[in-house]
Structure 1
Amino acid sequence: MVADVDGEFTTFVEERGAALLRVAYALAGNQHAAEDLLQNALAKAYARWPRIRGDAEPYVKRILYHDQVSGWRRRARRSEVPVAQVPELAAAGDDGRETDLRLLLLEALRALPPRQRAVLTLRYLEDLSVEQTAALLGCRAGTVASQSSRALARLRRLVPGLDELTDRPGVTR
């Protein structure tokens, strides 16, 4: 029985690990934090594997979202330091406007409240519907819609050139 559990879990991680790491990266904002977040989520999933094996991916994603939101809340209570101006983001000699916008967008995403960042990740990275996002986060569809609207509005305020970046052919909003 233990060998079956180990084999099934290993197969799941091999097949879905890369996709789960992308979600973790979108939530965490950097590779190392994403790997830690995913490792912790997989450890929790392994402990419950016999009960979740048929529906494991949504379960692991829920762990990722909840753990990351909890982490944001803990850090926000301890270490949030407002600054008057965003530091210079472009590398020396880099005249790429698109690179600057992407870096500014990354900073703006990090500045969003945890719930808004989770909603944007689920809606636009995971391409989930409002209803699916609400079910995953344990809230109403109206909450998802309002959080999404507020998050996008705030991103547009924080990153004025964002509309220019997304108005290119082949880029959807």
Structure 2
Amino acid sequence: MRDFDEFAAAATQPLLRLGWLLTGDADQAQDLAQNTLIRTYGAWHRVRHDDALSYARRIMVNLHTDWLRRRPWREQPRADLPDTGGGPGGRHGGHDGGHGAVEDRAALVAALQSLTRRERAAIVLRYYVDLSEQQTAQTLGVSVGTVKSVCSRALAKLRVSPALREERLFVRTAQGEPS
């Protein structure tokens, strides 16, 4: 299964970043990415290889949803966030350059965690993974109209989020400044 090995090597970092944004925790993101690759491998004979990453994203969102349903029985959330240096994959970098990037990331994760599971998944897929409305709808298994309304509600919540308002992260991001 050389083609799956190549897919897994290329997809690991994007899946880790998506998992980190969904969970807000690097260790949980690794578990989620690993389980996603395991499930994708099990279905590899059914997967369209030109669309394998989309298939894996859908699995990840479903696994995350399942995990959230079981969460109260397994783990308790922490009130403090450790300084993780930017999450997996180094996309955000470990050095904040004196501009408060670590605080911005913590505020963003806190704001994302305040959204419902569906809102968080829609926002992450639509704006972080940069999927179109159609691709997001397909990944989530909903209509395009649902994606539009869910994203609209979620963005409205993020605009008034105390965590983002304090850090002014949402304003900077919306104006196109680096976060």
Q: 1:77-88 residue pairs with structure 2 within 5 A?
A: none
Unaligned runs of 5+ in 1: 1-5
Partner of 2:111: 108
Partner of 1:131: 134
Do the aligned partners of residues 79 and 28 (structure 1) sit closer, same or farther apart at CA in structure 2, a change above 3 Å counting?
Answer: closer
Given that 1:105 and 1:155 are in contact with CA atoms closer than 8 Å, whether structure 2 keeps it comes out as no
2:101 is aligned with 1:72: no
In the alignment of these two chains, the number of paired residues is 159
Among 139, 162, 172, which residue is 1:165 paired with?
Answer: 172
Partner of 2:15: 20
Given that 1:73 and 1:114 are in contact with CA atoms closer than 8 Å, whether structure 2 keeps it comes out as no
Q: CA deviation at 1:20?
A: 2.0
Give the secondary-structure state (helix, strand or coil) at the position aligned to 1:52.
coil
Given that 2:123 and 2:154 are in contact with CA atoms closer than 8 Å, whether structure 1 keeps it comes out as yes
> More relative contact order in 1 or in 2 (CA 8 Å, sep 6+)?
2
Given that 2:133 and 2:144 are in contact with CA atoms closer than 8 Å, whether structure 1 keeps it comes out as yes
Q: Distance in 2 between matches of 1:148 and 1:75?
A: 24
Percent of paired sites with the same residue: 36
Partner of 1:59: 55
For the pair shown, which has the larger CA radius of gyration, 1 or 2? Answer: 1
Q: CA deviation at 1:19?
A: 1.9
Partner of 2:90: none
What is the letter of the counterpart of residue 162 of structure 1? L
Q: CA deviation at 1:36?
A: 0.4
Given that 1:89 and 1:100 are in contact with CA atoms closer than 8 Å, whether structure 2 keeps it comes out as no
Q: CA deviation at 1:162?
A: 3.3
Q: CA deviation at 1:11?
A: 1.5
2:24 is aligned with 1:48: no
Range that drifts further, 69-78 or 108-117? 69-78
Given that 1:29 and 1:110 are in contact with CA atoms closer than 8 Å, whether structure 2 keeps it comes out as yes
Q: Distance in 2 between matches of 1:16 and 1:78?
A: 28
Q: Distance in 2 between matches of 1:44 and 1:163?
A: 35
Q: Distance in 2 between matches of 1:108 and 1:20?
A: 21
Given that 1:98 and 1:165 are in contact with CA atoms closer than 8 Å, whether structure 2 keeps it comes out as no
Residues 15-66 of structure 1: CA distance to partner in whole angstroms, max 9, x if unpaired? 2222222222221212111110011111111111122152322111110011
Partner of 2:143: 140
Do the aligned partners of residues 87 and 13 (structure 1) sit closer, same or farther apart at CA in structure 2, a change above 3 Å counting?
Answer: closer
Q: CA deviation at 1:144?
A: 0.7
Give the secondary-structure state (helix, strand or coil) at the position aligned to 1:50.
coil
Q: CA deviation at 1:166?
A: 2.2
Q: CA deviation at 1:80?
A: 7.8
Structure-2-length-normalised TM-score: 0.75
